A = this chain, B = another copy of it.
Amino acid sequence: MLDLPGYPASDLRYLPREQVVAALDEVDCVEVTAQALRRHALGSTILPDEAYLPWQTPDGHSARSLGMPGAIRTDSGLDLGLKVINASLGNPDRGLARSQGLLMMFDPETAYPVCVMESAYISALRTAAVTAVSAQRLRTDPVGHLAVLGCGTLARAHLRLLPAVSDKLQTITLYDLDRSRAEALADALRADPDTADLTVRVEDSARACVDGADLVVTVTVTTEGYLAPEWFAPGALIAHVSLDDVLPEVVAAAGLVVVDDWGLVSHDDRRLLGRMWRAGTLRAPDGGYRPDATPDPTAAQVHTTLGDVLADRHPGRAEPGRLVLSNPFGMSILDVALGARVAAYAEEHDLGLRIPR
């Protein structure tokens, strides 16, 4: 039978999770993320719609695969990649992490994959890095009290990055529907030299957890809002990572609502802000309503993007005492930005495995 043309003998580099962790330890995730957000605001990125495959597992759990490509033009060239990140809600019951996947980095000229790496670790770290950037740019005061709702992988990623960002941090409060998860995380924080000096408390309710906090991070799997505006301390920053935790009244009460990308948020019809946009109870950053929605004169508003704040196009400040809501949908370009640094570090130090094409 006829042969098909092959490929050059160059290998692919493959990085298992352990090597991704090692490489990312050498990267300033918060700074790389801030730079990528800024480049996005300045139009130096390509952020296509993601591919979304949902299914029911044989055991009856919801599972999904996301395929998220992205590109960023940098000073030295073009960073290109595609993140695949899958999740099954049945995994935690099996003692498995909910998500896993692979991030591929591409050669800008041949388009061939050149480096493949485990993607869930990068994905968690870049999500936490966006919260860290928000804490730096959307607050005037450093964070003294951090509240974390949900105590899974994303909580740990946040608690890995955030203590280094605020030198005034004194208190961490934790809440999870499964108290044992919160206790396990509290124990880990008390045992960790980076956080051993802090007060760490497990709370009995979400309300007790957010009470008095300067920064509230939601990293749950809820699809229904439960956080009311009067629960928060005046001027608190809410990093609404899991996207469905706050009630619509919180969005309406906030003095500043910031997203990562208005297109991503408004095109989505499953999460709170997308639903509000469809219902006419949320206005776009330009003040307009969705053309086919019935305008609600009391509608809340999205004010700006985090990238525009970083690019100094928006002050990123609310009136003193008013809530600030950051609602990051999640962008592949941040994974690509970090993946490019990881790939470069791996190349330089010959980390990982060389695998044939």
CB within 8 Å of B: which residues of A? 1-8, 14, 16-18, 21, 46, 48-55, 57-59, 61, 63-65, 67-71, 77-78, 80, 82, 84, 86-88, 90-91, 94, 96-97, 99-102, 104, 106, 108-113, 116, 118, 121, 124, 153, 156-157, 159-160, 188-189, 192, 194-195, 353, 355-357
Contacts and interface: CB of A to CB of B under 8 A. Distances in A.
Contacts of A14: 14, 355
Given A106-B65, A109-B58, A188-B2, A118 B357 contact: yes
A64 B69 CA distance: 10
B91 A110 contact: yes
A96 B188 contact: no
Contacts of A16: 355-357
A71 B357 CA distance: 25
Contacts of A69: 51-53, 65, 67
Contacts of A116: 102, 116
* 10 A-B pairs with the lowest CB-CB distances in the bound complex, closest first: A67-B67, A53-B69, A86-B111, A51-B51, A88-B111, A16-B356, A63-B111, A100-B112, A2-B160, A51-B67
A173 to B, nearest CB: 16
B53 A46 contact: yes
B108 A55 contact: yes
A7 B17 contact: yes
A99 B57 CA distance: 33
Given A48-B53, A67-B69, A111-B87, A195 B77 contact: no
Contact of A65 (B1, B17, B80, B194): B80
A112 B86 contact: yes
Contact of A51 (B50, B61, B157): B50
A49 B49 contact: yes
Query: Copy number in this complex?
Result: 2
A80 to B, nearest CB: 7
A91 B112 CA distance: 10
Contact of A88 (B82, B100, B110): B110
Contacts of A357: 16-17, 100, 118
A112 B64 CA distance: 10
Most chain-B Cβ atoms within 10 A of its Cβ — which of A58, A63, A189? A63
Contacts of A124: 4
Contacts of A78: 55, 58
A61 B78 CA distance: 14
Contacts of A52: 48-49, 69
B53 A71 contact: yes
A232 B3 CA distance: 29
A68 B51 contact: yes
A103 to B, nearest CB: 11
A220 to B, nearest CB: 16
A7 B124 CA distance: 14
Contacts of A192: 1-2
A189 B69 CA distance: 39
